[in-house]
Amino acid sequence: MRYSTYQSIYEPVNSEAVKSNIGQLSAFITRFKLSSGLIKLAIASLIIFIGCSTVLTVFAGNESDLLPGGKIAVSQGETLWSISLEHKPATMDTRVYIEAIKKVNHLESTTIQTGQVLILPQFAK
């Protein structure tokens, strides 16, 4: 609409007051950007903290409950994951049982070979 018959029902706006309000808004936005960085830092720290505590909880276990158990020979195509699924206690996390297998057998990685004999950990009740 190039030409309008619209008239404001409000009083005319004081341009000095508008400039003052814009300056206050600009200062508020600048202050918000600074605190936005702090908020991002706090969120990142919280995510890292939760992630680390989750990892520690997953791998936490009582070593005094760990006992050597039976032995199995690794068949072709078996992995520590598949072995642990077959032999772990029902209430135990598979990742925790894999770590127990690695500890009992003094393994540094999850790599196993066909024909390798593994000691399965047992847990005291």
Q: Would strands 117-123 and 66-73 be described as parallel, antiparallel, or unpaired?
A: antiparallel
Contact partners, residue 118, CB within 8 Å, separation at least 6: 71, 72, 73, 74, 83, 101, 105, 112
Tens digit of each residue's pLDDT (9 = 90 or more) over 60-102? 445 455 555 688 899 999 999 999 998 888 888 889 889 988 9
Own/partner pairs, 105-114, CB within 8 angstroms, 24+ separation: 110/79, 110/80, 112/74, 112/78, 112/79, 112/80, 113/74, 114/74, 114/75, 114/76, 114/78
Rounded to two decimals, what is the model's pTM? Answer: 0.46
How many of the other CB atoms lie within 10 Å of CB of 38?
A: 9
Average pLDDT for the chain:
75
Q: Could you tell me the two tokens for 14?
A: 């004081």
DSSP 114: T
CATH code, residues 63-123: 3.10.350.10
* DSSP-assigned beta bridge partners for residue 121: 68
All structural domains of the chain with their residue ranges: 16-60, 63-123
Mean pLDDT of 40-63: 69
Residue 116 has pLDDT above 60, yes or no: yes
Tens digit of each residue's pLDDT (9 = 90 or more) over 17-30? 556 666 776 676 66
Mean pLDDT of 43-69: 65
